[in-house]
Amino acid sequence: MSKPSLKKNYIYNVIYQILLILIPIIVTPYISRVLNPEGVGEYSFSSSLITYFTIFASLGFTFYAQREVANVRDDKEKQTIVFWEVNICRLLSVGASIALNVILVLFNAYGNYSILMLLLTINILAIAFDISFFFQGNEEFGKIVYINAFIKLLGTIGIFVFVKNQDDVWIYALLNCMITILSNIAMWIFLKGRLTKIKLSQLKPLKHLKGTFRIFIPTIATSLYSILDKSLIGLILKSDAENGYYEMAEKIVKVAMTVVTCWGTVMIPRNAHEIAHENYEKVKENIYKVLHFVWLIGIPLMIGIILISDNVVPWFLGDGYDKSATLMKIFSVLVVIIGMSNVLGLQYLLPYKKDKQFTIAITTSALTNLVLNIPLIYFFGTVGAAVATIIAEFMVSSIMLFMARKDLSMKLIFKSAIKPIISSVVMFLAIYPLSIKLQSSILNSFIIAISGVGVYAIMILLLRDKLVFDFLYQIKNKFSKRLKKSSELAIKEDDSNDYKNLDCLNETKVEQTTNDNIKKVDKQNNIKKENNEDMDNNKL
């Protein structure tokens, strides 16, 4: 079985991950104005609460199932067994999560947020239909992208049509939920012909509980510093507006972060497959390349967000969101930090089945985040929450690096960061005066962004970054091969035409020779005939 293209899968996964964030970003300028910071914050707080239920419903199956499918990618029957075992096992956690949330709604535990929490139960149900792990395990990311693009486009149109004022927060929530569940259901269409018939007696779904639970613990821990901050902002500050500023800043930065972290999802099945075949050196090579990519793309993105945030926020989000610009600058560091932890966690610890080490790293950081969040939010509000998140994520990356020190070369990892750092510093010094001089507008934001990209690209080429030149060399080779192939085809076509012309010439010669022979025979026959006539006359 041929290996799927990593580059294609990366592009597909970038598109998929960006779709999960970009569609809300497209409607953000509209929603931020229609719902106001209070409405955005109300939805953000409710979403943070429902996420705890969706995490329990998923029960760590997202990465576990993807890894298990990748391990048996070459065996259709084993893949079928894993597929049904995972789905059956997951129904237990989904059912329990839905039941608990509905009970809390009925007892009015959420107060004014009860209606939203009831609607958001659809997100929990959607987990039961999510089979993206199967296609990700087989490194088939294209199918996921196609169906999500179509459904999310319809959902986006619905938001513009039906959400008209701050009282329509529930409509906004419902539409987002419908996008999620319909996208998951639609993926089942692509299963046709991918599974085989098996006996019910072959299924042992409960055997996966131990493995998925090991990943579930760090998943809970991860949620503590990815959504706990929003929950605590609502509980401590009691301000939907503050949650609105925080939500918008984080959402914008996540778009940039997605470009960096997408390699993680793409490489999980590839590295798991390589490890299953004991190709350990190839796994290390993959990790070094992707970490280099994190530096190459993540560092300039971080600097770019700092430079452009003050210019983007006023025209993109509208009046009243000035605080989001400050939060964006703080969050910009996450692009690099999470990019690194994403590689080390998803491409090194999990594929090598070092679930215990992964759990320790995530849990330690989550507890640190929890301890820091409460006092920092109390004294510094959303800025304190952002700082606590940065510290927690930095701790995750540091612990994972420490755990990988025996298998990976720290010198090689950090050496690849030198040229991107130098190029990004030059970019900052060159673009900063421009960023503070230009007033907020779409055109000026575009000018700042393009100028930054140009300066960085020139610097990285002058410094001859290895990853960039390897990429350019591959493009050159592909272009040369295509030219060579085109030339060979042209030569073959010319040769073919020559042969055809030669055949035509030969046919003409043969035809001419035949005609000459016929004429010659006719002439001889005529001479014989005349001779015979003369003989007859003589006799007479």
Minimum mean pLDDT among 50-59, 322-331, 525-534: which range? 525-534
CB 301 within 8 A of CB 256: yes
- Contact (Cβ atoms closer than 8 angstroms) between residue 182 and residue 151: yes
- Give backbone dihedrals phi and psi of 131, rounded to 5 degrees, phi first: -115, 25
Going by pLDDT thresholds of 50, 70 and 90, the confidence category of residue 518 is: low
**455 is a domain residue:** no
Contact 349, 403 (CB under 8 A): yes
Mean pLDDT, rounded, for 52-63: 82
More confident position, 253 or 223: 253
| Comparison of pLDDT for 186 and 146, the residue scoring more | 186
Identify the domain boundary among 416, 444, 465: 416
pLDDT digits (tens, 9 = 90+) for 359-394: 888 888 888 888 999 999 999 999 999 999 999 889
Residue 518 domain boundaries? 485-540
Question: What's the Cα-to-Cα distance from 20 to each of 17, 145, 194, rounded to whole Å?
Answer: 5, 10, 26
CA distance 315 to 184: 34
- In angstroms, the CA 337 to CA 225 distance is 14
Within a domain: 424: no
> By C-alpha distance, which of 48, 58, 61 is closest to 120?
48
Q: Is residue 469 part of a domain?
A: no
| Pairwise pLDDT comparison (202 vs 401), residue with the higher score | 401
Secondary structure class of 199 (helix, strand, coil)? coil
Query: Averaged over 208-223, what is the pLDDT?
Result: 71
Report whether 152 contacts 179 (CB < 8 A): yes
- CA-to-CA distance for 386 and 391, rounded, in angstroms? 9
Q: Could you tell me if residue 433 is inside a domain?
A: no
494 in the same domain as 349: no
Burial class of residue 41 (count of CB atoms within 10 Å of its CB; 0-12, 13-18, 19+): buried
Could you give the 3-state DSSP secondary structure of residue 109?
A: coil
Q: Are residues 386 and 250 in the same domain?
A: yes
In this structure, the answer to whether residues 409 and 493 fall within a common structural domain is no
Query: Taking 90 as the threshold, does the pLDDT of residue 345 lie above it?
Result: no
Instruction: Classify burial at 122, counting beta carbons within 10 Å of its beta carbon; exposed 0-12, middle 13-18, buried 19 or more.
Output: middle
Residue 500 — very low, low, confident or very high, per pLDDT cuts 50/70/90? low
Helical H segments across 72-111, by residue range: 76-106
Q: Select from 416, 442, 471 the last residue of a domain.
A: 416
- 452 lies in a domain? no
Instruction: Tell me if 157 is assigned to some domain.
Output: yes
Instruction: Measure the CA angle with vertex 191, ends 185 and 196; round to 5°.
Output: 135
User: What confidence score (pLDDT) does residue 510 get?
Assistant: 47
- Taking the C-alpha atoms of residue 91 and residue 57, their distance in angstroms, rounded to an integer, is 8
Do the Cβ atoms of 101 and 107 come closer than 8 Å?
no
Tell whether 270 and 370 lie within a shared domain.
yes
Gap between the Cα atoms of 265 and 137, Å rounded = 10
* Four-point Cα dihedral 501, 506, 509, 515, nearest 10: -110
Is the domain of 356 the same as that of 489? no
Residue 302 and residue 178 in one domain: yes
Q: What is the pLDDT of residue 363?
A: 84
Supply the DSSP string of 405-427, one letter for each residue.
TTTS-HHHHHHTTHHHHHHHHHH
CA distance 40 to 359: 33
Q: What is the pLDDT of residues 292-334, one digit of tens each?
A: 999 999 999 999 999 999 999 999 888 888 899 999 999 999 9
- Please identify, among 360, 389, 416, the residue that sits at the C-terminal boundary of a domain: 416
What confidence score (pLDDT) does residue 269 get?
66
Q: Is 231 left (phi over 0), alpha (psi -120 to 50) or beta?
A: alpha
Mean pLDDT over the full length of the chain: 82
For residue 383, what is the enclosing H or E element?
helix 382-403
Nearest to 401 by CA among 390, 410, 392: 410
Mean pLDDT of the 136-140 span = 74
pLDDT at 3 exceeding the cut of 60: no
**Same domain assignment for residues 65 and 201:** yes
Model pLDDT, residue 64: 79
pLDDT at 411: 92
**Rounded to an integer, what distance in angstroms lies between the CA atom of residue 407 and that of residue 290?**
16
**Is residue 45 assigned to a domain?**
yes
For residues 524 and 52, the model is more confident at: 52
- Which of 141-145, 199-203, 257-261, 269-273 holds the top average pLDDT? 199-203
Please give the residue that has the higher pLDDT: either 147 or 459.
459
Q: Which pLDDT score is estimated for 132?
A: 83
**Of the candidates 377, 401, 109, the residue with the CA atom closest to the CA atom of residue 229:** 377
Residues 447, 199: Cα–Cα separation, whole Å: 62
Average pLDDT over residues 41-59: 89
Q: State whether 368 and 278 are in the same domain.
A: yes
Kindly tell me if the per-residue pLDDT of 405 is higher than 80: yes
Q: Report yes or no on 57 lying in a domain.
A: yes
Domain count, the chain: 2
Which position has the higher pLDDT, 89 or 20?
Answer: 89
pLDDT score at 537: 47
The region that residue 52 occupies, defined by phi over 0 for left and psi between -120 and 50 for alpha, beta otherwise, is alpha
Do 93 and 189 fall into the same domain?
yes
Q: Are 97 and 53 in contact (CB under 8 A)?
A: yes
**pLDDT band (50, 70, 90) for residue 454:** very high
| pLDDT-derived band at 10, boundaries 50, 70, 90 | low
Residue 67 near residue 350 (C-beta atoms within 8 A): yes
Task: Report the candidate in 417, 433, 419, 424 with the shortest Cα–Cα distance to residue 456.
Answer: 424
